[in-house]
Amino acid sequence: MEEEYEGHQVAPPIPYGFGAEKASIIERINPEDIIELIRKRLMGLVQDPKTMEWKKSKILDDISISEVGAWQLSNLLLSVSNSNTALSKLDDKTIRKRAYGITETAIKMVLGNWMEYKITNRAQIAFVADIMYSLTFITLKMADMEGIRKMITGMYSEQRTINEIGEIKKKFFRRGN
């Protein structure tokens, strides 16, 4: 159903706008969002569900690290936790090697800066290592076998097909008038 706008015919809206949908998906899978959460958790902060403010948690006191340490480690994570990485093509061997490398660098940072990071026990080191490895591995796995890229390409193909079918129907029904 076409509408008139200032004397010009306007095509009906497309049910799913690929550009907006693509941007929305990239925003939803944006691995950078988790970095903020990880940084706060490394510092021992939890979000109050009522006020939405971040507050120090006594429960996390034994494993939390300093703000400096949390910022430095989260910056390290940003090297792999970003949209470019999620949209890239990586194989399993590369993913595992990179995840181990990031974790190794994080442990070197923790050990080299233990006073500044306020490291007081071995559990903190394991806590940091597990977070770094898990997040790196999971983020890089998003790029395994081009999963995200193929999904977005599939959406584009689907959108193009929907548009082409719409054009065919429009041409068909115009001939009948």
Structural contact between residues 136 and 102, judged by C-beta atoms closer than 8 angstroms: yes
> Would you give per-residue pLDDT tens digits along the chain (177 residues)?
445 445 555 554 444 444 555 556 666 666 677 899 899 999 999 999 999 999 999 998 889 999 999 999 999 999 888 777 767 788 889 989 999 999 999 999 999 999 999 999 999 999 999 999 998 898 888 777 555 555 556 555 555 555 555 566 565 556 555
Residue 29 is predicted with a pLDDT of: 62
Residue 1 is predicted with a pLDDT of: 47
Taking the C-alpha atoms of residue 62 and residue 42, their distance in angstroms, rounded to an integer, is 11
Taking the C-alpha atoms of residue 166 and residue 15, their distance in angstroms, rounded to an integer, is 10
DSSP letters for the chain? --EEETTEEEPPPPSS-HHHHHHHHHHHT-THHHHHHHHHHHTTEEE-TTT--EEE-GGGTTT---HHHHHHHHHHHTTTSSHHHHTS-B-HHHHHHHHHHHHHHHHHHHHHTTTTTT--SHHHHHHHHHHHHHHHHHHHHTTBTTHHHHHHHHHHHHHHHHHHHHHHHHHHHHHT-
Rg (CA), the chain: 24
Structural contact between residues 102 and 81, judged by C-beta atoms closer than 8 angstroms: no
Taking the C-alpha atoms of residue 83 and residue 127, their distance in angstroms, rounded to an integer, is 25
